Amino acid sequence: MDTLRVVVCGTTFGRIYAAGVRALPDKYELVAMMSRGSEQSRRFAAELGVPLCTSIDELPDFDLACVVVRSGIIGGAGSQIARQLLAAGKHVLMEHPIHRDDAVACYREAARARTSFWLNTFYRHSSTIKQYLRMVDVLRERYGILHLEAECSIHFLYSMLDVIGRITGGFTPWHLNDRAEDLGVFTTVTGSVRNTPLRLQVVNRMNPEAPDDFVHLGHRITVFTPGGNLVLTESDGPIIWHPNAAGPRDEAGVLEVDADESLSSFRLHESLAVEPEVTRRIQYERIWPAAIAECLEVIHDELNDPGYRAHEAEYLLALCSIWTRVGQLIGPSRAFGAELSSTHLDLAQLTRLAAHLHQ
């Protein structure tokens, strides 16, 4: 397949997409950026050495558009732009989230124009969550899954539900109980996905002055299996494995560490840091662009596999439905009654302060 020419629409998070495209020069070529034409957008396009276009009519020839503009469900024009590009016969990759009605319209437009539409849920392609899902695949195959516990901030609800769907191998059938419960910062929804019990706790609050900055947590999830529990502590945090292991006992059934050395020396929990160091710079410059590149690799493969694309479309529409229902249950986001702290503690400082406090 020839190198695919790419346009990125949007220059905020679109910067991450541009970096992801440029990480795959053997498969993709960035040929233009599209935005409303702000000065920062013009500077960014100039740094990349590509034209900045302010309308679809100005775009050069291209094969794939990455629409990184807020969709209609969150007050943006992304869904409309995606449909226009599809109608023009172009492949479209759109950043999440999207309402089910808009997704259906995009898939229909893609079918009419004989082109392809993808939605990027993003975090499943990131290094840590990708590794977590691979490990869950092993556990699901070997033991089956007993229960899921998930926690996220409202900002990550769509992608968290996607992670849950990848864990269970799809959504259908799914059921959510009719009442959500509020306790502290969490609003809790319970139910099941593919007959696996689920408790989902959402921090349904944000700072209206800085909605992207006051986030209590990203993705935290525990998969319970007969063989043990696998914990994702954060979106880019350590993965912890707690295996289920019997205690060593002697012939009389009394706990005795010398009775079975293999059980006595068995590690009761182990951790894996896929990303040993995570800072904002590392996220923006390496982890997130690599996740975009991973998504683009998948798209490159899927262009030759229409059967898989149909399966993904069915999955995405189910994801949209369950996301909408969770949103109905938890209600509108509320404002935090506090600002971000002006002081920041690292772990070493916290440890020293704790030691001093308890001297």
pLDDT at 64 (0 to 100):
97
Answer whether residue 208 shows pLDDT above 80.
no
- Judge residue 13's burial from the number of C-beta atoms within 10 Å of its C-beta, 0-12 exposed, 13-18 middle, 19 or more buried: middle
Answer whether residue 295 shows pLDDT above 70.
yes
Domain(s) labelled CATH 3.30.360.10 in the chain stretch across 124-238+273-287+322-335
Question: What is the distance between the alpha carbons of residues 318 and 310, in angstroms, rounded to a whole number?
Answer: 13
Mean pLDDT of 221-230: 98
More confident residue, 135 or 257: 135
CA dist list (Å): 194 to 169, 170, 173, 198, 268: 8, 7, 5, 10, 30
pLDDT at 191 (0 to 100):
98
Class at the top of the CATH hierarchy for domain 124-238+273-287+322-335? alpha beta
pLDDT at 37 (0 to 100):
87
pLDDT band at 245 (very low <50, low <70, confident <90, very high): confident
Are 196 and 190 a contacting pair, CB within 8 Å?
Answer: no
Answer whether residue 216 shows pLDDT above 80.
yes
pLDDT band at 206 (very low <50, low <70, confident <90, very high): confident
Question: What is the distance between the alpha carbons of residues 84 and 110, in angstroms, rounded to a whole number?
Answer: 10
198 pairs with which residues across the strands?
Answer: 148, 191
Q: Indicate the pTM of the whole model.
A: 0.93
Coil, helix or strand at residue 71: coil
pLDDT band at 335 (very low <50, low <70, confident <90, very high): confident
Answer whether residue 199 shows pLDDT above 70.
yes
pLDDT at 338 (0 to 100):
62
Query: pLDDT tens for residues 74-114?
Result: 667 889 999 999 999 999 999 999 999 999 999 999 999 99
pLDDT at 156 (0 to 100):
96
Question: What is the distance between the alpha carbons of residues 243 and 148, in angstroms, rounded to a whole number?
Answer: 16
Query: pLDDT tens for residues 141-172?
Result: 999 999 999 999 999 999 999 999 999 999 99
**Range in 66-80, 274-288, 334-348 with the lowest mean pLDDT:** 334-348
Please report which helix (H) or strand (E) contains residue 143, including its range: none
pLDDT at 131 (0 to 100):
99
pLDDT band at 73 (very low <50, low <70, confident <90, very high): low
Query: pLDDT tens for residues 166-177?
Result: 999 999 999 999
Backbone phi, psi, residue 170, to 5°:
125, 180
pLDDT band at 266 (very low <50, low <70, confident <90, very high): confident
Are 292 and 96 a contacting pair, CB within 8 Å?
Answer: no
Answer whether residue 124 shows pLDDT above 90.
yes
pLDDT at 355 (0 to 100):
92
Query: pLDDT tens for residues 6-15?
Result: 999 999 999 9
Domain(s) labelled CATH 3.40.50.720 in the chain stretch across 4-120
Answer whether residue 297 shows pLDDT above 80.
yes
Answer whether residue 72 shows pLDDT above 80.
no
pLDDT at 224 (0 to 100):
98
Class at the top of the CATH hierarchy for domain 4-120? alpha beta
Residues ≥6 apart with Cβ < 8 Å to 210:
340
pLDDT at 339 (0 to 100):
60
Question: What is the distance between the alpha carbons of residues 330 and 319, in angstroms, rounded to a whole number?
Answer: 17
Average confidence score pLDDT of the chain: 92
pLDDT at 75 (0 to 100):
64
Mean pLDDT of 44-48: 95
